[in-house]
């Protein structure tokens, strides 16, 4: 396998997606831009390495490189075919790799990358394939944690004087349960550890926000329509 293949794959991803956008995102505006798809893919690659660092595994370096390659290319078709992007991405990636024999990949290795991409969005049920499990978990973990706080704020009325109270409530009522839901679906110990750390960060943020909002005194009662009357 060529040592330049991962760098070239990142450049191919950028050039393939350049200038594209999606028409299905309505809540988080940054997701519309092609650059988001690139950044997401590279974060997933980085998360794959973080998970592997926390796992006791026997993967050879060549297998890890194939897994990283699949992570880089896994969402290459998402802006064109949202519902069938995994299979479409597998085909695009296979064709690109076949056009570049200088990467020194065998046909078996090319099919392995295509297979990982093709099944990455099927996150229901157990996953006996360790590499596929790592890729799926890394994909799931993206945007959970500090990013969750910013994403939660997009569901709120930003001009409301009670914006921070609403944010605190949404984090408690939606984001923490979402973390618990995703924790149950993760397949690797490393990914569960990462999600646990991110959940603790959200809890710490909620605690700090609660402390800062305490000075507002009667705001919760006012929101409920029951202001305190000390007169």
Does any domain span residue 137?
Answer: no
113 and 11 assigned to the same domain = yes
114 and 22 assigned to the same domain = yes
116 and 184 assigned to the same domain = no
Does any domain span residue 65?
Answer: yes
Please choose, from the candidates 140, 96, 136, the residue with its C-alpha nearest in 3D space to the C-alpha of residue 117. Answer: 136
How many domains are contained in the chain? 2
109 and 170 assigned to the same domain = no
112 and 62 assigned to the same domain = yes
20 and 112 assigned to the same domain = yes
Does any domain span residue 96?
Answer: yes
Expressed as residue numbers, the domain containing 181 is 146-223
> Model-level pTM?
0.89
28 and 105 assigned to the same domain = yes
Buried (b) or exposed (e) across 79-111, using 16+ Cβ within 10 A? beeeeebbbbbbebbbebbeeeeebebeeebbe
3-state secondary structure of 21: strand
**pLDDT tens for each residue of 136-175:** 999 999 999 999 999 999 999 989 988 999 999 999 999 9
104 and 190 assigned to the same domain = no
Among 63, 90, 123, the domain boundary falls at 123
84 and 189 assigned to the same domain = no
90 and 164 assigned to the same domain = no
Does any domain span residue 80?
Answer: yes
* Residues 65, 72 contacting (CB under 8 angstroms): no
Does any domain span residue 34?
Answer: yes
92 and 164 assigned to the same domain = no
Q: Check whether 230 has a pLDDT greater than 60.
A: no
9 and 119 assigned to the same domain = yes
Does any domain span residue 139?
Answer: no
CA distance 1 to 106: 8
184 — pLDDT class (breaks 50, 70, 90): very high
By percentage, how much of the chain surpasses pLDDT 90? 77
Does any domain span residue 129?
Answer: no
- Count the neighbouring beta carbons within 10 Å of the beta carbon of residue 72: 26
Does any domain span residue 134?
Answer: no
Among 61, 89, 123, the domain boundary falls at 123
Among 90, 123, 156, the domain boundary falls at 123
**pLDDT tens for each residue of 50-71:** 999 999 999 999 999 999 999 9
């Amino acid at each position: 396998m060529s040592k330049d293949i991962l760098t070239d794959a990142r450049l191919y991803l950028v050039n393939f997606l350049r200038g594209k956008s999606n028409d299905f995102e309505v809540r988080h505006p940054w997701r519309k831009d092609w650059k988001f798809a690139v950044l997401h893919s590279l974060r997933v690659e980085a998360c794959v390495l973080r998970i592997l660092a926390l796992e006791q595994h026997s993967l050879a370096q060549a297998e890890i490189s194939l897994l990283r390659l699949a992570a880089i290319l896994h969402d290459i078709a998402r802006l064109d075919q949202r519902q069938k992007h995994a299979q479409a991405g597998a085909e695009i990636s296979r064709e690109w790799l076949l056009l570049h024999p200088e990467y020194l990949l065998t046909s078996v290795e090319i099919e392995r990358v295509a297979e990982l991409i093709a099944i990455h969005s099927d996150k229901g049920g157990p996953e006996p394939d360790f590499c596929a499990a790592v890729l799926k978990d890394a994909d799931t973990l993206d945007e959970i944690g500090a990013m969750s706080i910013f994403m939660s704020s997009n569901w709120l009325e930003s001009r409301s004087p009670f914006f921070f109270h609403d944010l605190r409530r949404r984090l408690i009522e939606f984001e923490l349960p979402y973390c618990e839901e995703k924790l149950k679906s993760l397949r690797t110990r490393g990914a569960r550890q990462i999600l646990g750390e991110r959940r603790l960060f959200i809890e710490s943020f909620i605690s700090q926000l609660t402390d800062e909002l305490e000075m507002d005194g009667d705001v919760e009662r006012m929101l409920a329509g029951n202001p305190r009357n000390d007169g």
